Amino acid sequence: MKRIGLLTSGGDCQALNATMRGVVKGLSHNIDDLEVYGFMNGYKGLIYGDYRMLTAKDFSGILTRGGTILGTSRQPFKLMRTPDANGLDKVEAMKQNYHKLNLDCLVILGGNGTQKTANLLREEGLNIIHLPKTIDNDIWGTDMTFGFYSAVNIATEAIDCIHTTASSHNRVFIVEVMGHKVGWLTLYAGIASGADVILIPEIPYNIDKVVEAIERRKRNGSGFTILAVAEGAISKEDAQLGKKELKKKMEEDKKLYPSVSYKVAKEIEDRTGMEIRVTVPGHTQRGGSPCPYDRVLSTRLGSAAAKLILNDEYGYMVGLVNGKTKKVPLEECAGKLKVVTPDAQEIKDAKRIGISFGD
Ligand code: F6P
C-alpha cells in the first residue's frame, strides 16, 4: 500500500500530465493498493488543503495533453517562510496537510523555484521526489528537463514562418524566445531554424557586432536577416553595470520598450536606418501537446520516480544524465542554475557555420 501526493507548480509546460501518468502507471502496475492525492494549483493546494483523490483512470489518456490536470500557480520560494494575509504559517500548513493524509511521499513537478521549496519540505522531514519541468532547461543536475524540446519545436516553427516572409520582403526580423535568464531555448530554436544571429543572456551582445553580421549578409547578397533573441538577452554595457545600477537601467528600459527585442530593434534601426520587425511567440511556447521526445522523457522520469517510491527512497530529483535516468540528491541541486557556457560545444559549432552571437 502506498499513499502519494502529486502537485505541479510554477509556469506550466507541455509534458506535466505525461510525467504524472508515468509515476502513477509505474506504481499501479507494481502494487495493488495505491492511493493518489492531487493537490490543486501547485503549493497553494498543499497549503490550504485543496486536494482530490485520483484514480488510475484520471491518468489514462493524458500522455498527449498539454497543461496540467491539477492546475498550477507561482508561489515564490522567498515568501514561503512569510505568513499569508491571515497569518497562516505556510510551511507548517503544508506539513500538516501532508501528515493529515498520512502520505508516504509527495511528488513535486516544477522548475528551479519549485525545487527550492521541495528541498525546504525535505529539510522539514517530508518524503519528497522532484521531477524537473521547464521549457527553460535550466535545472542543474539533469541534461534535459521535460517541456524543453516541445518549446524548441514551437519556437523553431515560429522562426521558420518568419523566415519565409522575411525572405520575400528582404526584411530584418527579430523573434523573441522565452527562457527566463538562460539561453538554452533560444540557442536550440535558433540553430534549428537557421537564424543568422542568436543573442542569449550568457553572451552579452555588442550591438555593433550585430549590425556587422546584418551588413555582412547584405554584402553577400542576402537581403534578409533573422535574429533569435532570448527574452533575457543583455548588452555588453549593461552586463558590466553593478547590481543596483543594472536594476535602475532595467526599470528605465521597461518604460521605453515592451521587451528586450524592441530595444535591440531600436539600436539596429538607429545605426542602419533599416526598419526592423519584432515577433514575440510568448506563451505559445509553453502550450499544446508535448513532442514525442518529451513524451518519452516524461514517461522515463515518471517511471524512475515510481521505482524510487517502491524502494522508499526519497529526497531526490529524478534527472536524465548521459541518456540514463538518475536520482540526484535535492540538497545537491536545489538553488543551482544550469546556464549555457560561452564555450559550449553547441556555440562553437554554430559559430563555425557563421552564426553570430553578437560578441
Ligand atoms: O519558466 C518558464 C517561463 O515560460 C519562462 O521562459 C518565462 O520567462 C516565464 O516562464 C514566464 O512566466 P509567466 O508565465 O509568469 O509570464
Shared domain for 137 and 161, answered yes or no, is no
Own/partner pairs for 160-163, CB < 8 Å, 24+ apart? 160/193, 162/226, 162/279, 163/193, 163/194, 163/226
Residues having CB within 6 Å of any atom of ligand 1: 11, 111, 134-136, 178-180, 231, 286
Quote the cell numbers at residue 229.
533573441
The number of beta carbons lying within 10 Å of the beta carbon of residue 320 is 19
Residue 340 lies inside a defined structural domain of this protein: no
- Give the CATH number for residue 253: 3.40.50.460
Which of 260, 285, 310 delimits the end of a domain? 285
Known binding-site residues equal 11, 74-75, 111-114, 134-136, 171, 178-180, 231, 277, 283-286
Length of the chain: 359
Sign of CA dihedral 86, 92, 94, 100: negative
Residue 212 lies inside a defined structural domain of this protein: yes
Quote the cell numbers at residue 250.
532595467
> Quick one: which atom of ligand 1 is closest to the CA of 232?
8
Overall pTM > 0.90 = yes
For a mutational test of ligand 1's pocket, the pick from 136, 185, 261, i.e. the residue with the most ligand atoms closer than 8 A to its C-beta, is 136
Shared domain for 138 and 156, answered yes or no, is no
Shared domain for 21 and 96, answered yes or no, is yes
Shared domain for 117 and 164, answered yes or no, is no
pLDDT (tens digit, 0 to 9) for every residue of the chain, 359 residues total?
999 999 999 999 999 999 999 999 999 999 999 999 999 999 999 999 999 999 989 999 999 999 999 999 999 999 999 999 999 999 999 999 999 999 999 999 999 999 999 999 999 999 999 999 999 999 999 999 999 999 999 999 999 999 999 999 999 999 999 999 999 999 999 999 999 999 999 999 999 999 999 999 999 999 899 999 999 999 999 999 999 999 999 999 999 999 999 999 999 999 999 999 999 999 999 999 999 999 999 999 999 999 999 999 999 999 999 999 999 999 999 999 999 998 999 999 999 999 999 99
Known binding-site residues for substrate equal 134-136, 171, 178-180, 231, 277, 283-286
Distance from the Cα of residue 300 to its chain's centroid? 19
Task: State the residue range of the domain holding 172.
Answer: 151-285
- Give the CATH number for residue 321: 3.40.50.450
> Quick one: which atom of ligand 1 is closest to the CA of 136?
6
Cell 518524503, residue?
127
How many whole angstroms separate alpha carbon 215 and alpha carbon 3? 62
> Quick one: which atom of ligand 1 is closest to the CA of 178?
6
Residue 10 lies inside a defined structural domain of this protein: yes
Shared domain for 220 and 125, answered yes or no, is no
Are the C-beta atoms of 199 and 228 separated by less than 8 Å? yes
Number of domains into which the chain is organized:
2
Provide the annotated active-site residues: 136
Does residue 8 sit in helix, strand or coil? Answer: strand
Are the C-beta atoms of 114 and 9 separated by less than 8 Å? yes
